């Protein structure tokens, strides 16, 4: 059996997956708090024949946790995390973690994301303020003060470095290991009046897109050439039989 066919097919499957992730990253290059998706490939070795053949795996996706650029907005209802931590919001199936700290205040005084999810304190409870009580002041440790009165602290959470993240919505993630409330604010904290942009580098992603497209085309040509040589061999054997 020709090894070029399965090898080229594995390469096409791998590059196709990479193209999908790059396209999604580029589409969200300006999405607040978005985390880019990357693909990790492994080499698979088949020893079924007399000569070992190396294949590219289809690839395992993972969410990059590198930080995005902070931009000052001056809006007191905007927050960003400075450091390695996440905000907690109430998702449909439990807590979701995000770096998108843009807020709104509901008529009932509940602090919510722009999509209407409740923003949680360190204990996992929704945050309440006075909707008519004036502007909010948010300290580095997340403590909210309104009219000189402390109302509670926005929760900051750390996710274990070895946790696998699943995407929840556009800018949210759910880890497969429990996140813990942040207690030491020396290395991380809240910055009021800032938002964090996507961690996608558009120029780098466009460069990767061109490279992956060329790799996909090369694999397609290898398939075509291999199939052509196989057909020629069949015709030659048929003519001499």
Residues 213-241: what's their mean pLDDT?
A: 63
Predicted local distance difference test score (pLDDT) of residue 134: 92
Does 19 or 130 have the greater pLDDT score? 130
Q: Give the length of the chain.
A: 241
Predicted local distance difference test score (pLDDT) of residue 38: 87
Predicted local distance difference test score (pLDDT) of residue 219: 65
Q: 241 CB contacts (<8 Å, ≥6 apart)?
A: none
- Residue 190, CA distances (Å) to 66, 100, 126 in order: 17, 12, 17
Residue 180 has pLDDT above 70, yes or no: yes
Mean per-residue pLDDT over the chain, rounded: 85
Residue 200 has pLDDT above 90, yes or no: yes
Burial class for 34, CB neighbours closer than 10 Å (0-12, 13-18, 19+)? buried
* pLDDT level of residue 17 (50, 70, 90 thresholds): confident
CA atoms in the 13 A half-sphere facing the CB of 94 = 6
Domain ranges (residues) in the chain:
4-64+200-240, 70-196
Predicted local distance difference test score (pLDDT) of residue 88: 98
Does 7 or 60 have the greater pLDDT score? 60
| List of long-range contacts for 39-48, beta carbons under 8 Å, 24+ apart | 39/14, 41/14, 44/10
Residues 214-234: what's their mean pLDDT?
A: 64
Residues 226-241: what's their mean pLDDT?
A: 58
Predicted local distance difference test score (pLDDT) of residue 214: 79
Residues 88-115: what's their mean pLDDT?
A: 96
The end-to-end CA distance of the chain, in Å, is 20
């Amino acid at each position: 059996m020709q090894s070029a066919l399965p090898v080229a097919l594995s390469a096409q499957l791998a590059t196709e997956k990479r193209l999908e992730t790059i396209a999604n990253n580029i589409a969200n290059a300006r999405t607040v708090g978005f985390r880019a998706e990357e693909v990790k490939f492994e080499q698979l070795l088949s020893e079924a024949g007399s000569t070992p053949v190396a294949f590219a795996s289809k690839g395992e996706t993972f969410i990059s946790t590198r930080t995005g650029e902070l931009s000052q907005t001056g809006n007191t209802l905007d927050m960003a995390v400075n450091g390695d931590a996440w905000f907690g919001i109430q998702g449909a199936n439990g807590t979701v973690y995000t770096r998108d700290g843009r807020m709104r205040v509901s008529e009932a005084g509940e602090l919510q994301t722009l999509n209407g999810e409740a923003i949680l304190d360190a204990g996992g409870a929704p945050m309440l303020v006075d909707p008519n009580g004036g502007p909010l002041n948010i300290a580095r440790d997340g403590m909210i003060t309104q009219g000189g009165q402390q109302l509670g602290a926005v929760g900051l959470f750390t996710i274990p470095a070895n946790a696998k993240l699943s995407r929840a919505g556009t800018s949210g993630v759910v880890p497969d290991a429990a996140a813990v409330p942040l207690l030491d604010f020396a290395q991380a904290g809240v910055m009021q009046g800032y938002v964090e942009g996507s961690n996608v580098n558009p120029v780098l992603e466009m460069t990767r897109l061109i490279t992956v497209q060329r790799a996909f085309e090369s694999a397609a040509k290898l398939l075509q050439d291999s199939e052509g040589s196989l057909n020629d061999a069949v015709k030659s054997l048929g003519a001499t039989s």
